[in-house]
Structure 1
Amino acid sequence: MVQLVTAHGERISNPEFDPWVQDMDHEHLLSLFEDMTVIRRLDVEATALQRQGELALWPPLLGQEASQIGSARALRSDDFVFSSYRENGVAYCRGVNLTDIVRVWRGNSSSGWNPYTVNMATPQIIIGAQTLHATGYAMGIQSDGADSAAIAYFGDGATSEGDVNEAMVFAASFQVPVVFFCQNNHWAISEPVALQSPVQLSDRAAGFGIPSLRVDGNDVLAVMAATRIALDRARRGGGPTFIEAVTYRMGPHTTADDPTRYRDANELEDWSAKDPIERIRVLLESEGALGPEVAARIQGKADTVAGEIRKGCIGMAEPEAMDIFAHVYSTPHSWLDRQQEQYGRYLAMLEPDDGRSAIVTGGQQR
């Protein structure tokens, strides 16, 4: 497993991977540290909003900050992201409006944002389906002769789904520019990864003819290096790459889950000692790059983002009843038009007549 920064915040050398992050000076490391700090604060705030009844559900990313930031910051603006429901840190990096990140979880919208304004598809709830979308998009990139790439994010549990395996078959067969980025957070809801696979998940890729990399997913530098390598291969026509970022889901699967029912508390304690943010903080402090003033500025930025997402969530306008029919198809569709007309007539039945409400029972009006 590739590692460039240990859990104790020590920078270690790796001749193969160091060249891919040689530009990561103190300024750039501080930027990554800020990103991770901000998205953890965002995540904590969204979890609090759900507990307070402002969101129906929320999928925490706590503990997976390095996997999301390290990979997302390796992307170009013309690359296209296909994610699951947990990559809210990636969405932040792509410039998704903070309110749009929680729009679906408040039940306000069926999507959240326009994918083409940020080159990131809205989150896919169906486990693993986004890998097929990413592969298809990458086939389009290949046909266009462009040098951009697609990246698909998914968890360890998704590797047991047929969609992921089918996507890798197509990607390998046509050698398309796609990166399969697996965040192995050790738990597919309540099922441990060891139950799903007797081998490392990265080893599965070889069966499809896809090269793989296995990195410390709590090491933002190692994740960035691996993602840059995979993207470079894709841009040069080398085809797909599978990355296994070994990390840990420190919170519940979603806010509807109780991990204490299936997870040993000692396991959480062990992984807490490998915290992705803490190791970069220690590294930066040891090299004199992170003092009290800089730390306060970064924390201030995190608090500002948290305030913005809370304000945007609570102040979100309620959707109109007929909005449910918007953005379902890209072109007019008679079947949908018929449903909309029928639903409109149903809503009209519920409106008071001349300002008076009437209830008809047994042939009499009350």
Structure 2
Amino acid sequence: MDAFYASVEQRDNPDLRGKPIAVGGSQQRGVVAAASYEARRFGVRSAMASSIAIRKCPDLIFVKPRFDIYKAVSQQIRAVFAQFTQLIEPLSLDEAYLDVTANLTHSLSATATALAIKEQIKQETQLTASAGVSYNKFLAKLASDYNKPDGLYVIKPHQGLTFVESLKVEQFHGVGRVTASRMNQLGIFTGMDLRQQSEAFLTQHFGKVGHHYYSIARAIDNRPVTPNRVRKSVGSENTFEHDLVTYSELIAGLSPLIDKVWAYCERTNVLGKTVTLKVKYADFSQITRSRSLLSFVTDQPTLKRVATELLDSIVPLSQGVRLLGVSLANLNEQDQSRSGQLTLNL
């Protein structure tokens, strides 16, 4: 979906249409959860500190998020997907992979299917979506970002290698800012540069994920679309209106995060072994502290005890804390069976 949260707000409030808006945060605190395209023209992006966003765009309008509305619209969109295929792998409320090889409309063209899905979404939600069509997930994801908003871009099998080689490595899905910087230090700036490296070289410098980088530099991605994608962690975080400076403030800020994580665990019967505390300081520097237990965390007091002990490890504070987060990983969900893929005209 195109600027999903912001587009929903502009759809529901005509006064916001055509104006630069940011969902989340405020002029003083927090981060931008989503920015309208009008705001993006000024350089405002999601995950940007609100204070930086307002400097880039002084007329920026901050809108309080309505996650219940976004979830409801997301369910509408998923229902549209389900009219075309059962192989849907959600990535977030506003994004998903779809395998339309054996689609429910019996279309022989993936591009025609994507156009039909876009049209149906627009008709039912009055929102626009951008689609990427290709023969694997990596290329489809790249294509979906290539012609936004309301775009459709197709990468056919004979085009994949050429498309990848011209991209900067920071444009690769899964290559973040830190990894891109490490690649640049090694003389790797483009897909072509990446392809010239041996698999041994990439695993030496990037570990197991080096195998993945070796493949995607050659436009190879054999991951299937997995409808029941395994969740890797569950967490909650909060940016506070004022920096937390005392231990009692830290505990008070931590408690509701633990409550939210455990509520999800109880609701879904998910358990985990690794507790992680995330801390962002007043100067925006960030640290994490983790502890893995021998057995699953089976009750909230245990989660609270471990999270509090992790918090104790960072005090006394050298400066105020603007954000706290708690997450639980090494979950007990089981991987689903996977099947092969057929071929389909793009």
TM-score bin (small chain): under 0.3
Q: TM-score, normalised by structure 2?
A: 0.27
Q: Which has the higher contact order (CA 8 A, sep 6+)?
A: 1
Larger Rg: 1
Which protein is richer in strand relative to its size? 2
